[in-house]
Amino acid sequence: MSKLNVKNGTPVGGEHLCRSCSNGQFTVGYRESDVMAICTNAHPSRLVPFSVYECTDYQDRNRPDWEQMQKLALCFGETRRKATPGFRESGFGRVPVIVEDGEDEDEDEAVRAR
């Protein structure tokens, strides 16, 4: 007997999508068939009598929200590094500027200000 493959068929045996949704309220009994799922995204909340495979309003409850992501974020631009000992006066910090005699005094002052 050969195995039959069906494309885009009905999935068999999957976990209810509402279990990991932040809008889903799940109540489970002792038996496997004692499951009640309520979608709180709609007003009024509605009972979902079947196992959900795909939902357009799905929001993963395991994904962090904006405030949690800001707390976890690393800030790189706000702190200054300390100078490495021994390299402070090594000549890498400034480049000497050569000024010709025919330039205006305003440009000379701008060069000195650097």
Q: Name the helix (H) or strand (E) containing 39.
A: strand 35-39
User: Which regions of the chain are under pLDDT 70?
Assistant: 1-2, 9-13, 78-84, 86-97, 99, 101-114
User: What pLDDT sits at residue 57?
Assistant: 86
Separation CA 41–CA 76 (nearest Å): 38
- Tell me the pTM: 0.47
Separation CA 110–CA 114 (nearest Å): 7
CB atoms within 10 A of CB 35: 16
* 72-98: b (≥16 Cβ within 10 Å) or e: eeeeeeeeeeeeeeeeeeeeeeeeeee
User: What pLDDT sits at residue 30?
Assistant: 92
User: What pLDDT sits at residue 96?
Assistant: 62
